[in-house]
Structure 1
């Protein structure tokens, strides 16, 4: 398949590498001349402009920051190929793309480092990759074509709407980035705390090392969902603070801690046996909402897995 990747940072660069490794004809472009040169030196076909990169592309992936997307989208005027993206917010991108052939995407993969130099061809192996499926809007044939491409890179395709995606990632990605930043700041100017910090601090603050501009753009682009989920987290923490004021703080804290402990011990969910599902919007969205994912795409059907407790045989 003839493909193009616009933006060659960690995700875009990894996608360029993965597509090339899969035997696809892929052309890349990045606004930064130094990044373009680095990618060329690595053996990839790199165009000098967005227009040149997508000229013969059947599928174009936009891997640029949300703030840059309007300018890049404008440069796609007249391009009739299928367009997807990898940004961590889907509602604003859906609104921006309008009537264009578009399927919103978000690979749940990454590292706290960024740039083409740290990109990896196998970054997406085993990761969940959201492909948005909007009833009465997304072309199902386009969605299945993209799902087939994504699963060929070893990713698990999760079908959801843009709105459902944005709430879920606020809960498990965007708000945790904000919380990690506050937690990491505890060692600033406190060398003793830094010396004593160990596993819980390391695991809870890993994403705090992400560039502040990237985290701010991610959370600011999903402001409604992030604000709501952040207030929920703050409320839960305030209830724990109230529990610590009780005569028996140990007993008072336990009911607040047990639900999270149970949830974490049960994650990740154990998948049930593979299912064959009809390639229909309803069946696919039901799969995604149950926590399931597509592993491969056939003719008129998909092979899927879902958490054992929620599995429904169709």
Structure 2
């Protein structure tokens, strides 16, 4: 299989590439390196530098002939999307449409979208399944929903097929230690915890400890990045088998609280990891957990690497490997 990953030098893209390379598939990586790292690109992969907003460059690479295109090249910081909506509309919406139309012009019929649980907004019931109402509470989530809607239309109007994978919270690193590049300016909980453990940040801010949860802190569904990567391989096989279009959640179906992550990180790192408990953030739900039953039924996918211990251990190893670079 020939697979082209847009945004393949990023955190998730790198792990997706590894899963395809492990099967001896041909992997191409297209990335502008704005957040991805050239050092993340495996030597066995073909590399194309470019931006998804560059129509000519996108079409040039797509014309090389690919069985499946995977789109992981979106900006993903929900908070930033509310402050810089133009940046997100140009890249996440216009850039995505460039990829879709480029695929159709180049005759690439199979497309996998890296989507997000952000399309759902605040949960009206748990666990959140694919039929849950879509009411994004940030512009980032809206951009993902917008692209999904366009994919649905293009699939009806053209000889074009897609799988949209709605990630919950991606976490962890390759268990074999093959990916050592850290994300630039991480905003997610686990990287922030690791930065406190590494001495880069003075403390962790925990937003609210009075929720109706097991320990008062917010609960989220964390899925190991290797599990996500395997989901892309299964989605590619699904499309290549001509099974049609699909929209599925990829989550562990188990919630982890902020306190559970903090306690586990303290145990594994041996560091005190100072935490300050502050007021809740507006709009943060107490609990958000996925149903991934459709992914299991349609793709045979389930989370197998997503225990809190595996997530924290694999992440800490990478931070330890980068310790000298991280020291102020």
TM-score, length-scaled by structure 2? 0.40
**Structure ID, larger Rg:** 1
TM-score, length-scaled by structure 1? 0.42
Structure with larger RCO (C-alpha < 8 A, sep 6+): 2
